[in-house]
A = this chain, B = another copy of it.
């Protein structure tokens, strides 16, 4: 099992290392513990969202509403805290419940209507956007309880950001669900062959519902961390996160056609994007050129990854020939 895992993510892991080595050489500030924690803080939200996104992608679905799920989640939590004076802990729990409910609604519509997830969640994105703006009227809500803000900004022992702990915890939970539980297996089964899974007694509807529900759950956690980090809630905040998560997952080898991918891959994908952005920013390169470089590096990364997988198979073939003779 471990071997298979290692092989699958080998290509992208190499790309990540190559990037780290490169940036470490060209800019001395890059390779510092502080900067490492910077990067993890910067990608914590997209990383956590990507865990849920990976589940959905593996089942063969997609959730384009995660971006405005974030917006609605943070706006609701913010209003609860500031307008209604709800204690932050309670507000967060309500926010998480809201996230789960949105996810379940997505799942329910998809499961019951058999409409393509892409278009269901695209419509949901528009609806959530409207709702979130309706709540705030486009204005910002800010200045929250210190202990709440600490979640996103403070460190433990002056070094390790609290958000990193959350991030790691979510990765572990996500990996556990996917690799160790019945449902993880069902996610793969559905994504690979929904008919066969159904005929094997997998309750496809329930499992799909679960995937979207979990996606909403993880997204709301990511949203809360982001709110704490920004110390300000605004309806436009989540815009584009569906794209970022999709990019991270797909770069990390999670197939947009379902059935393939791992949490480790998705997180490596997030790290590649995060390191690239951070490294280029620290190098202080012209931002337009940054875009071009980002695109080219992503392209090289995935092409290299795919080709190295193909090559791996070839190498194995040659080995078999030799063994046979």
Residues in A lying within 8 Å of B, measured CB to CB? 109, 113-116, 118-120, 122-131, 133-134, 137-138, 243, 246-247, 250-251, 255-257, 286-296, 298-299, 302-303, 306-307, 310
Contact = CB atoms under 8 A, between A and B. Distances in A.
A19 to B, nearest CB: 15
23 contacts: A109-B299, A113-B302, A113-B303, A113-B306, A115-B299, A115-B303, A115-B306, A116-B250, A116-B256, A116-B257, A118-B246, A118-B250, A119-B298, A123-B295, A123-B302, A125-B295, A127-B291, A128-B295, A130-B294, A131-B292, A133-B287, A133-B291, A137-B288
Contacts of A119: 247, 250-251, 298, 302
Nearest 6 interchain pairs by C-beta:
A130-B291, A126-B295, A127-B295, A130-B292, A123-B299, A133-B288
B250 A130 contact: no
Contact of A126 (B115, B246, B257, B294): B294
B302 A115 contact: yes
B118 A256 contact: yes
A122 B123 CA distance: 21
Nearest to A64: B243
Contact of A114 (B115, B127, B310): B310
A159 to B, nearest CB: 33
Contact of A122 (B113, B129, B134, B250): B250
B310 A123 contact: no
B114 A288 contact: no
A137 B243 CA distance: 25
Nearest to A136: B288
A17 B222 CA distance: 42
A108 to B, nearest CB: 12
Nearest to A255: B116
Contacts of A113: 302-303, 306-307
Contacts of A251: 119
Contacts of A134: 286, 288-289, 292
A109 B295 CA distance: 13
Most B CB within 10 A of own CB, among A120, A246, A250, A299? A299
